[in-house]
Amino acid sequence: MKKKQQHPGGGADPWPHGAPLGGAPPALGSWKRRVPLLPFLRFSLRDYGFCMATLLVFCLGSLLYQLSGGPPRFLLDLRQYLGNSTYLDDHGPPPSKVLPFPSQVVYNRVGKCGSRTVVLLLRILSEKHGFNLVTSDIHNKTRLTKNEQMELIKNISTAEQPYLFTRHVHFLNFSRFGGDQPVYINIIRDPVNRFLSNYFFRRFGDWRGEQNHMIRTPSMRQEERYLDINECILENYPECSNPRLFYIIPYFCGQHPRCREPGEWALERAKLNVNENFLLVGILEELEDVLLLLERFLPHYFKGVLSIYKDPEHRKLGNMTVTVKKTVPSPEAVQILYQRMRYEYEFYHYVKEQFHLLKRKFGLKSRVSKPLLRPHFFIPTPLETDEPIDDEEQDDEKWLEDIYKR
């Protein structure tokens, strides 16, 4: 006759046919002994207490998160240490393209102010840096109707970013039509020199081809094409008088009809737009400094531009854009031009002063220590006027290169 199995605590065994699956609960006085629940799962009272404490900490942390309106500082530090990666980062759609700031730049280039040289540089830079260079085949329409402004702004705003749009066009107010106002850049030059360059370019083109001027002005009569510049100025021909001479300011004043009328209103509005909407307005006579500052301000677009500009191969291409057959008018004619362009010169000197202030902030020296209130009309030769390529002394080249290398 079999003896009944005795329970360790005394008395009969409550499970005479074996403990149920998972094992029996421990008897009194044996809490520290591990009892198997499943073949692959074992726990003790200490493990159970640890789990409950962890759950309590989690609940308190969640409550603290909700009461304080955000995660505790240590969680933020831990997130920063471990990174902000989430499940969606690894398994969701690819992240959107990170755009440089600013990602919308407009270069509403002023005619005969080195714009073809800059556009040539931009074509090289766009391929190098991968931004979208948006150009226009329209070269002779700077004043737009309201509908034309809306259409152009729409086309520019929908371009793939980052973009740089360039065209000969007067300032456009994007915000007026509900668009995001882009960053503007531009370059101007001495107004008389700009006028002379344009006068002879319309008639005789540049070194890129003798037929260039015939394409631009096919209807110009021969007597008009070979009209002496002094006669045009002294006899007050339309091309050499206002409002034709009022050319630079409208590019900064805008599309308002009064922007095309020489006067204080257009001048002051142009200054206001320069201060509020233009990142940089440079001076062509100091083109290398302009390129250097553009590289500092807009590295995603202009990084390396100065080295490209100084490259001998680019200099050859730059020399092809110099206006040919340019002559110097008489001092009397130049003084008359200056009187007719007094607002243009006031704006030019204002921009030049702002440009020199900006250069000083970056440690660049200006060629003129004290800018003159009124210019002396020494008219440089054509090569010195259009593109300042080889007119620097060696010392000036050295200090500019040293700054560029910093």
Residue ranges per domain, the chain? Answer: 104-365
393 burial (CB, 10 Å; 0-12 / 13-18 / 19+) is exposed
Q: Which residues are catalytic?
A: 168
CATH topology of domain 104-365: Rossmann fold (3.40.50)
Q: Scan for tokens 């605590």, then name that residue.
A: 9
* DSSP structural state of residue 281: E
CA–CA distance, 102 with 163 (Å, rounded to integer): 9
Please tell me the predicted confidence (pLDDT) of residue 404: 34
Q: Quick one: tokens of 226?
A: 């070979």
CB 183 within 8 Å of CB 237: no
SS3 400: helix
Global confidence as pTM: 0.67
Tell me the C-alpha distance between 273 and 253, whole Å: 7
Report the C-alpha gap between 357 and 360 in whole angstroms: 5
pLDDT of residue 405: 39
Residues in the chain where the model's pLDDT stays below 70: 1-43, 64-98, 206-216, 316-325, 366-406
pLDDT of residue 31: 46
pLDDT at 95: 58
